Amino acid sequence: MIRITQKRPFVLARSNFIGFDRYAAHWTGDYGMTWEDLRCGIPTMLSYGLFGVLMIGSDICRFHGNALGGVFYPFA
């Protein structure tokens, strides 16, 4: 693909291997919509930085349902 387009493809993976961060971004998956899920999700993403993974992401508020107790108001 690099030879054809002269651009690197963007690869987003849910699983990984040693040295994967050189080739792909990592996605931690979907977390729930509670304060407890938010408390677990953010440190998970920060810990990847300790291992040198620079591109990490998560769906912290999911893609369906309604958030409870104003969990995501600070991000709105």
Residues 2-51: pLDDT tens digits?
677 788 778 877 777 777 777 788 888 777 777 787 788 888 888 888 88
H or E, element range at 12 = strand 12-13
pLDDT of residue 62: 65
Domain boundary assignment for the chain: 8-75
Report the pLDDT value the prediction gives residue 64, as an integer from 0 to 100.
61
10 versus 65: the higher-pLDDT residue is 10
Long-range contact set of residues 34-38: C-beta below 8 Å, sequence gap at least 24: 34/68, 34/69, 34/71, 35/69, 35/71, 38/71, 38/72
Element at 30 (helix H, strand E): strand 25-30
Termini Cα distance of the chain: 37
